[in-house]
């Protein structure tokens, strides 16, 4: 399985780079940091985007949508022809919305800090399903995140899985220090809290398995690298939301095509 | 005493309670607010008190509505609008979700608590969100009509509900599609007071003692009301007065102005509204606050 995920995540990186080369403006760094997390989520047995009655999912850090689209393309849920047509009609852009990919996108994105609270509503409406969300580590500064976390803990909402993409870079600064994550503050709430390497597919899958079995809601702190797998962009604040040169993208595409 | 006697909140929330008990898709959510009629539901699984956390409150209701539930959220109107505006705009309105937001304590109904508790700008704040409809409840009769039909009102909706016994016009037949009603009609079509919410009561009291010279129009719905019909009525009167407890920029005045501009109505209009400022005066009595602020019946009478 691990070997498969490695191949698939390389293919997703390749697809993502091709989309960027094709003038799709995506945030490279934050997309790459959660790419492996998303790969395991959608290519593991966790969320089957083709199924009607699947688990709900919110990509709270909507700027990482390019990876999500790459997964939809790779799974042939949407063809590149349809994708380009929607793009031409200006119906796809730099954030997700539920209007054109209704079956596959569960929530509009663009504003940060909302998803955990919305997931509570999802979870109460779907008590027998696990509800998943991926949030950024900079995003957890939002007060609404904490309103939601306290509510989940106090009211014993037990079917939410929150993945924190801990890439240590916000849009404009390094956020190496994060009290709530570093000082185990989350462990004091009623959550199953796990820290993992967010690029290690085996750890990710194991952690997702545990979260599904857990009788409490889970918080997975995934240590990741912003720009992971994209050479010059790795851990480089410049490429948090800035594009790298086409020549460099072409080089990266060559690399992933060969591997 | 007729069946609509009592506090307007009881009329409204007793109907909500009956609907909630019958329909298990309904959820009631609050931000640690209490209304008498709903006390007995607090232990129900579909009653959610999110605590003093309005952003989360609205987000939960949005998540519920996405899966076909029918959330009814109630709380203090100033906090349910200003405190969680982004959540309303993005998570409820942009998805066009069936969530009903019930704002209690509008206008100066809590005059002792200062500007944080004055609901004098919330109408236009919500009006700015394109998908949200707004109902402003003026009396027990309208409270009864809107609450009975709460599940039939589609889409995101903000409903303001006042307090006290406002059972002064039980014979009016409110039409929710139309969105306004003449609640006092004079024989002569000289002066028309256009008002909304709590001030309908003042305007009606003044008009009924004014020798059949003054009519009162209650504008209670602010987006999809019958604008053509509304303009037609305005054109019939010699003099128009807009009378609102909300502020000049935060209430019905800019909403009416939008219609007047759209239909190119050029008419001199007298305006009596709260000022565009946050008022740091503390009164124990709403009537006193209103009269001291220059908005009482005496001030209205001067404009006739």
In CATH terms, are B8-161 and B180-303 the same topology?
Answer: yes
Residue B160's closest CA among B4, B8, B7, B51? B8
Chain B residues with CB-CB distance to A144 below 8 A: 55-56, 59, 87
Q: Is the confidence metric ipTM above 0.85 for this complex?
A: yes
A121 touches chain B (CB under 8 A): yes
Chain A residues with CB-CB distance to B27 below 8 A: 124
Residue A114's closest CA among A99, A94, A135, A131? A135
Q: Is A93 exposed, middle or buried (0-12, 13-18, 19+ CB in 10 A)?
A: middle
Which residue range(s) make up the domain with A216? 2-258
Instruction: Give B91 to chain A, closest Cα distance, Å.
Output: 8
A106 touches chain B (CB under 8 A): yes
The overall average pLDDT reported for chain A is 94
DSSP assigned state of B188? S
End-to-end CA distance of chain B: 33
Distance of CA A10 to the CA centre of its chain: 16
Neighbours of B234 (CB within 10 A): 19
Helix (H) or strand (E) holding B240: strand B239-247
* Number of domains, chain A: 1
Domain edges within chain B: 8-161, 180-303
According to DSSP, the β-strands at A218-223 and A192-197 are parallel
Residue A43 has pLDDT above 70, yes or no: yes
CA closest to A98 among chain B residues: B95
Chain B residues with CB-CB distance to A121 below 8 A: 59-67, 69, 71
Cβ neighbours for B170, distance < 8 A, ≥ 6 positions apart? B2, B4, B140, B141
pLDDT tens string, chain B, 304 residues long: the values are 578 999 999 999 999 999 999 999 999 999 999 999 999 999 999 999 999 999 999 999 999 999 999 999 999 999 999 999 999 999 999 999 999 999 999 999 999 999 999 999 999 999 999 999 999 999 999 999 999 999 999 999 999 999 999 999 999 999 999 999 999 999 888 999 999 999 999 999 999 998 789 999 999 999 999 999 999 999 999 999 999 999 999 999 999 999 999 999 988 899 999 999 999 999 999 999 999 999 999 999 999 9
Q: How far apart, in whole angstroms, are the C-alpha atoms of residue A154 and residue A190?
A: 7
Q: No. of H helices and E strands in chain A?
A: 10, 5
Instruction: Give B72 to chain A, closest Cα distance, Å.
Output: 13
Q: How far apart, in whole angstroms, are the C-alpha atoms of residue B132 and residue B126?
A: 7
Name the fold adopted by B8-161.
Rossmann fold (3.40.50)
Q: How far apart, in whole angstroms, are the C-alpha atoms of residue B239 and residue A10?
A: 74
According to DSSP, the β-strands at A57-59 and A131-136 are parallel
Q: Tell me, what CATH number does A10's domain have?
A: 3.40.50.970
Q: How far apart, in whole angstroms, are the C-alpha atoms of residue A160 and residue A152?
A: 8
Contact B67 A121 (CB under 8 A): yes
Q: Do the Cβ atoms of B299 and B271 come closer than 8 Å?
A: no
DSSP assigned state of B229? H
Name the fold adopted by B180-303.
Rossmann fold (3.40.50)
Distance of CA B281 to the CA centre of its chain: 23
Q: Do the Cβ atoms of B101 and B153 come closer than 8 Å?
A: no
DSSP assigned state of A229? T
Contact B63 A122 (CB under 8 A): yes
Cβ neighbours for B71, distance < 8 A, ≥ 6 positions apart? A121, B26, B27, B28, B29, B60, B61, B64, B65, B98, B99, B100
């Amino acid at each position: 399985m691990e070997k498969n995920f490695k191949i698939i995540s390389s293919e997703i990186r390749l697809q993502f780079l091709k989309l960027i080369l094709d003038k799709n403006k995506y945030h490279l760094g934050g997309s790459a940091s959660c790419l492996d997390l998303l790969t395991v989520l959608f290519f593991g047995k966790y969320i089957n985007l083709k199924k009607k009655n699947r688990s709900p999912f919110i990509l709270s850090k909507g700027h990482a949508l390019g990876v999500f689209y790459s997964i939809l393309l790779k799974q042939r849920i949407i063809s590149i022809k349809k994708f380009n047509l929607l793009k031409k009609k200006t119906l796809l852009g730099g954030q997700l919305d539920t209007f054109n990919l209704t079956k596959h996108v569960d929530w509009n994105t663009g504003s940060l800090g909302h998803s955990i609270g919305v997931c509570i509503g999802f979870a109460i409406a779907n008590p027998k399903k696990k509800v998943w969300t991926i949030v950024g580590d900079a995003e957890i500064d939002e007060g609404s995140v904490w309103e939601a976390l306290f509510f989940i803990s106090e009211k014993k909402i037990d079917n939410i899985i929150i993945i924190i993409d801990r890439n240590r870079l916000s849009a404009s600064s390094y956020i190496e220090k994060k009290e709530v994550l570093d000082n185990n503050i989350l462990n004091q709430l009623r959550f199953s809290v796990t820290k993992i390497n967010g690029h290690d597919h085996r750890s990710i899958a194991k952690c997702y398995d545990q979260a599904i079995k857990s009788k409490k809601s889970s918080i997975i702190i995934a240590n990741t690298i912003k720009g992971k797998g994209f050479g010059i962009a790795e851990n480089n604040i410049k490429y948090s939301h800035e594009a790298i040169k086409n020549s460099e993208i072409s080089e990266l595409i060559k690399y992933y095509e060969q591997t | 005493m007729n069946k609509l006697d009592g506090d307007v909140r009881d009329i409204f929330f007793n109907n909500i309670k009956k609907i909630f008990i019958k329909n298990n898709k309904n959820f009631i959510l609050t931000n640690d607010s209490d209304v008498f009629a709903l006390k007995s539901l607090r232990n129900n699984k579909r009653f959610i008190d999110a605590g003093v956390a309005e952003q989360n409150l609205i987000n939960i209701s949005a998540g519920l509505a996405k899966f076909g539930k029918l959330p009814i959220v109630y709380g203090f109107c100033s906090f349910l609008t200003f405190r969680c505006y982004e959540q309303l705009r993005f998570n409820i309105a942009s998805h066009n979700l069936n969530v009903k937001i019930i704002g209690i304590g509008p206008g100066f109904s809590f005059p002792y608590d200062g500007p944080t508790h004055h609901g004098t700008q919330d109408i236009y704040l919500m009006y700015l969100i394109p998908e949200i409809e707004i109902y402003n409840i003026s009396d027990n009769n309208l409270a009864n009509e809107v609450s009975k039909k709460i599940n039939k009102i589609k889409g995101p909706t903000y409903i303001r509900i006042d307090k006290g016994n406002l059972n002064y016009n039980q014979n009016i037949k409110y039409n929710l599609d139309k969105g306004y009603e003449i609640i006092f009609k004079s024989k002569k079509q000289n002066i028309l007071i256009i008002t909304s919410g709590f001030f309908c009561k003042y305007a009606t009291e003044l008009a009924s003692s004014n020798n059949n010279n003054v009519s009162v129009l209650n504008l209670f719905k602010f987006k999809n009301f019958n604008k053509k019909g509304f303009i037609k009525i305005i054109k019939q009167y010699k003099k128009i007065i807009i009378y609102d407890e909300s502020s000049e920029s935060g209430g019905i005045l800019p909403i009416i102005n939008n219609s007047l501009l759209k239909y190119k109505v050029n008419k001199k209009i007298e305006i009596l509204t709260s000022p565009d400022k946050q008022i740091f005066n503390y009164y124990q009595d709403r009537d006193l606050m209103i009269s001291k602020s220059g908005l009482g019946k005496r001030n209205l009478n001067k404009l006739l």
